[in-house]
Chains A and B, each alone.
Chain A
Amino acid sequence: MPKHIVTITKANLKDTVKTGGCGECQTSCTVGNQVCVK
């Protein structure tokens, strides 16, 4: 068990290149405040 570091969220932006890009999500107008709709 890790003793010194707690991972709050494990993410992998690189992987979303393959799974994302559909363009169906809401136009943000902070893009990071959005969610993926898939």
Chain B
Amino acid sequence: MDLRSYDFGANLHWFEQGGQRIVLDVNSGSLHAFDLPAREALQRLAECGGDWERAILLIAAKYGQMEAEEVFLELEQLAEAESLFTADPGFVAPAYPREPVIKAICLHVAHDCNLRCEYCFAGTGDFGGERSLMSSEVGKQAIRFVLEKSRHRRHCEVDFFGGEPLVNFRVVKELVEFGRQEAAKAGKTIKFTLTTNAVLLNRQVRDFLAENDISVVLSLDGRPEVNDRMRPYADGSGSYQEVAGNIKEFVSAQQNPSPYAVGTYYYVRGTYTHNNLDFDRDVLHMAGLGCKQVSVEPVVAAPDDPYAFREGDLPVLADSYDRLADAYLARRNTSEEFNFFHFNLELGKGPCLPKRLSGCGAGHEYLAVSPDGSLYPCHQFVGKEEFKVGDVFSGKVDAAMAEKFRSAHVYNKPECTKCWARFFCSGGCHAAAYNFNADILKPYRLGCELQRKRLECAMYIKVKEAVG
């Protein structure tokens, strides 16, 4: 085999975790577990610049000729099967029309909130503007907008967001009924989701969500002291007691929701900060409350915020992910098992390559709607007027801005083209790139590091589940 022009760093990723030697073939998505001689053979190949004969000699000198030939024969067979040493597939333009096809909207039904979370990117609910609620007229027009702009797509999505959407529950109810009727007329379906802090999640709301198959993302940061430090009420008192009680009531009625956010599901979603680098304990705390579907995310913070991550935090966070992966495995098939969103990795039936290149869809498939009907590339750009792309009443979307976001894929981001995680993260979050680097083409470095760590843990879990 001639691998002298093969870029090992960009196209293969190997690492060790929990005694497993794990190898990802980046371009095919194939995952392997290697023994020590095979892993060393890969390393020698990379060090020799792909010189196959020289690498065999080096392995034979250490393990003997017969063992070296066995190893390299297996490597060759995997290459022939196109699951090792595969080439980058290159940019594949998704077969979508050039005009934006908007199939998902994030409805900011309330720029107001009953909590005053320290790290809220929505400026504690008002997104830096006036506290306001979306009217049903604006909401209905937004639903007409997405049904029309989704063109040939059958599945549309509407997320109720804020602020806190349940402070405008009357409009939420009205829009769900309206959306169902309008979607049926158009021969489409709308999947509704609602992101809530759970303060107002009473029986009436729970019944409504269940009756209408609405998926729910519930905010809780974990242990009482962790949650209450960052998620107080307006009077400064902690929200844990009330919120955790409401969430326990809610999750106790849920039946085996999909971990992959398909169908009707829920996730209890926390934010971790510099204050709780041992966030794995918060995940396990929430699992102990009966929350079987959990996700925690790193805080989005300005560098001088007191809870922002600092130099030196990354190895501590990596250890927390490692502990969480081991706890996840230890609890599988027990009464204490739980799902962690970022450990879900469906390697065989994951997204297609066009999807991986279109990324999150912000700006060209997915838009956020502010209470007055203004449109933004996503919920994190709301309030940044330079990113306003239109409004639901004119029905027009800034085509140049949509193209700018559509073009922000991994092949147009220099730092992504050589990264082994490029087909999993799809280039990362545009808002984080803009917030930290003032350029949606420059990924947020810490976000990338954490992304890669989560993916390694997810692959480790796959390997452990397969080989024990």
**Interface residue ranges, A against B (CB under 8 Å):** 2-14, 16-17, 19-21, 23-37
Contacts and interface: CB of A to CB of B under 8 A. Distances in A.
B352 A3 contact: no
A37 to B, nearest CB: 7
B299 interface: no
Given A5-B35, A8-B347, A30-B342, 5 more contacts: A6-B467, A20-B351, A27-B365, A33-B344, A34-B261
Q: Which applies to chain A's interface (DSSP): helix, strand, loop or mixed?
A: loop
26 contacts: A3-B35, A4-B34, A4-B74, A5-B74, A7-B78, A8-B31, A8-B466, A9-B348, A11-B28, A13-B356, A14-B353, A17-B92, A20-B355, A23-B94, A23-B355, A30-B424, A31-B360, A32-B350, A32-B351, A34-B260, A34-B261, A34-B350, A34-B355, A35-B260, A35-B262, A36-B352
B30 interface: yes
B191 interface: yes
A25 B27 CA distance: 22
Contact of A12 (B29, B77, B157, B425): B29
Given A2-B74, A33-B344, A13 B353 contact: yes
A17 to B, nearest CB: 5
Given A17-B354, A30-B425, A10 B342 contact: no
B82 A27 contact: no
A17 B92 CA distance: 8
Contacts of A30: 342, 424-426, 451, 454-455
Interface stretch (B96-104, B111-119, B238-246, B436-444): B96-104
Interface residues of B toward A: which range? 35 or more
Given A14-B28, A35-B346, A35-B351, A9 B92 contact: no
Q: 6 shortest A-B CB distances, which residue pairs? A: A20-B352, A32-B424, A11-B29, A16-B352, A21-B354, A4-B38
Given A5-B78, A12-B28, A26 B353 contact: no
Contact of A14 (B27, B341, B346): B27
B174 interface: no
B414 to A, nearest CB: 20
Contacts of A27: 103-104, 157, 360-361, 365-366
Interface of B: 23, 27-35, 37-38, 70-71, 74-75, 77-78, 81-83, 86, 89, 92, 94-96, 101, 103-104, 153-155, 157, 191, 260-262, 341-342, 344-356, 358-362, 365-366, 378, 423-426, 451, 454-455, 462-463, 466-467
Contacts of A20: 351-355
B462 A31 contact: no
Contact of A8 (B86, B89, B353, B463): B463
A5 B360 contact: no
Contacts of B462: 8-9
B338 to A, nearest CB: 16
